Chain A
Amino acid sequence: EAQVTQNPRYLITVTGKKLTVTCSQNMNHEYMSWYRQDPGLGLRQIYYSMNVEVTDKGDVPEGYKVSRKEKRNFPLILESPSPNQTSLYFCASSLWKRTSGDHNEQFFGPGTRLTVL
């Protein structure tokens, strides 16, 4: 089954304790992205990756790191979590656009609800 998986689904942690949220896709997609969802703000992009070893900042990258060492995995790292990073996080993947005007739908993981105390 084609899917994007995230782990853990739920996490409660304390300020300053490093954590990693994993994301994996089995569709051989080049593009992967991390979003956070907050009430009234919708989905805001944190980081994205166009392919292995190619990553770039989204709209809200502060306090986050990512890596893309393999095509299928795109972990999100919080080196020193703070309470304002309490949110619902989604990983997504898609094919990279091939031609001008061609956009591909993104497939989303089930989400990770993070609480930082």
Chain B
Amino acid sequence: DQQVKQNSPSLSVQEGRISILNCDYTNSMFDYFLWYKKYPAEGPTFLISISSIKDKNEDGRFTVFLNKSAKHLSLHIVPSQPGDSAVYFCAASGELYGQNFVFGPGTRLSVLP
């Protein structure tokens, strides 16, 4: 059973609008979360992270929100740009996992010009 879920396999958004990518987790031992972005024929690259002691982390156009009680996090991209079109992976870890992360299945974002 997947511990990290991204229930939307794909998402299309108009350029300039907000993109919201969602991630749910089941393991309450997770206390650190990352988002990775992946372009075709490239490896994933780190985008933004959040620790469970926070409920929000912002980096430029990217903001991650964490709702611990709901075991839910979301990535907001504002404004969305065509270059944001990629697959986004949510990943989670915790003290018991050391440096290992559990990845979700990914959401493919298409930003339409």
Q: Which residues of chain A come closer than 8 Å to B34, judged between CB atoms?
A: 103, 105
Cα-based distance from A109 to B106 in the complex (angstroms)? 18
**With A42-B105, A106-B46 as given contacts, are A97 and B41 in contact (CB-CB < 8 Å)?**
no
Candidate in A31, A96, A103 with the most chain B CB atoms within 10 angstroms:
A103
Contact A111 B31, beta carbon cutoff 8 Å: no
Q: Which residues of chain B come closer than 8 Å to A43, judged between CB atoms?
A: 44, 89, 91, 103
| Interfacial residues, chain B to chain A (CB-CB below 8 A) | 2, 4, 6, 9, 31-32, 34, 36, 41-46, 49, 51, 89, 91, 93, 95, 98-101, 103-106
Listed A/B pairs (15) with beta-carbon separation below 8 Å: A42-B4, A42-B89, A42-B104, A42-B106, A43-B103, A50-B98, A58-B100, A97-B99, A103-B49, A103-B93, A105-B49, A106-B46, A106-B99, A110-B42, A111-B41
The 7 A-B residue pairs whose C-beta atoms are closest, nearest first, are: A108-B43, A42-B105, A43-B103, A105-B46, A42-B103, A103-B32, A31-B99
| Interfacial residues, chain A to chain B (CB-CB below 8 A) | 4, 31, 33, 35, 40-45, 48, 50, 58, 90, 92, 94, 96-97, 100-101, 103-111
6 new A-B contacts at CB < 8 Å, known A42-B4, A90-B43, A105-B46: A100-B95, A101-B51, A103-B34, A104-B99, A106-B99, A111-B43
